Structure 1
Amino acid sequence: MSRIFMLLMFVGTFFSASSQILLKQSANIEHKSGIYEYLNWRVITAYFIFFGVLLLNTYAYTQVPYKYGSIIDTFTYVFVLLLSRFLLGEKITKGKLAGNLIIIAGILIYSL
């Protein structure tokens, strides 16, 4: 039963990364005034997604051990790297790649 909840958490990390991409897109846009930097559809949608993922993770942690939950949550960094490359056109630099490889190595070491 906990595998379903683990999958839900993994899907939640993807949506969390997607909401971070929305926030980055909003930051790259010139807004009419300061209030529109915070009250536009990208920012509002991103925070609704964050709230939904928070509820999803809270529910999923009832069945998933904390050890595995923290491992799953770190995949957000990998998703952000990939989504920023394909949706924002950002380059994957050696530093970004090295950072993500360190994260993945940490996940593997932690899970052993």
Structure 2
Amino acid sequence: MNVYMLLMFGMTFLTAISQVLLKKSANQTYKSWIYEYLNWRVIVAYGIFFGVLLVNTYAYTQVDMKYGAVIDTFSYVFVMVLSWLLLRERFTRRKVLGNLVIMVGVLIYTLP
């Protein structure tokens, strides 16, 4: 595993953090519709998305595309775990099974 793959893995974790920030923002009520979009959680989350896009675009120049797809699937796992830790959402059998199906599908796709 090279440094660019590790970088992409870290970006996948940051993507999950930004998705949890967006979910936390969506769970709140605001006095005006404009504050739904212009609050610190949304701005930080989209800033993270933009940074991840730039870093991953560069990392894909050094990593085979099939490995990027495998690394990307970990975002589903990270979101599920972070939602459990930070948002107190529960693991359900369907969520775990859905994550497993996605990961197995991507792994089968990348087999030679």
Instruction: Please give the TM-score of this superposition, normalised by the length of structure 1.
Output: 0.95
Which range is displaced more, 82-91 or 98-107? 98-107
Q: What is the match of residue 67 of structure 1?
A: 66
Whole-angstrom distance in 2 between the partners of 1:71 and 1:97: 17
Q: What is the match of residue 97 of structure 1?
A: 96
Q: What is the match of residue 80 of structure 1?
A: 79
Number of residues of Structure 1 aligned to a counterpart in Structure 2: 111
Among the aligned pairs, what percent are the same residue? 65
Instruction: Please give the TM-score of this superposition, normalised by the length of structure 2.
Output: 0.95
Deviations along 1:8-34, one digit per CA (max 9) or x if unpaired, are: 000000000100000000000111100
Note the residue ranges of structure 2 that are not aligned, 5 or more in a row. Answer: none
Whole-angstrom distance in 1 between the partners of 2:66 and 2:27: 36
Note the residue ranges of structure 1 that are not aligned, 5 or more in a row. Answer: none
Which 4+ runs in 1 deviate beyond 6 A? none
Q: What is the match of residue 28 of structure 2?
A: 29
Deviations along 1:50-72, one digit per CA (max 9) or x if unpaired, are: 00000010010110011111111
Whole-angstrom distance in 2 between the partners of 1:104 and 1:67: 13
Letter of the structure 1 residue corresponding to residue 37 of structure 2: Y
CA RMSD of aligned residues (A): 1.0
Letter of the structure 1 residue corresponding to residue 51 of structure 2: G
What is the deviation of 1:111?
A: 3.0
Whole-angstrom distance in 2 between the partners of 1:83 and 1:111: 27
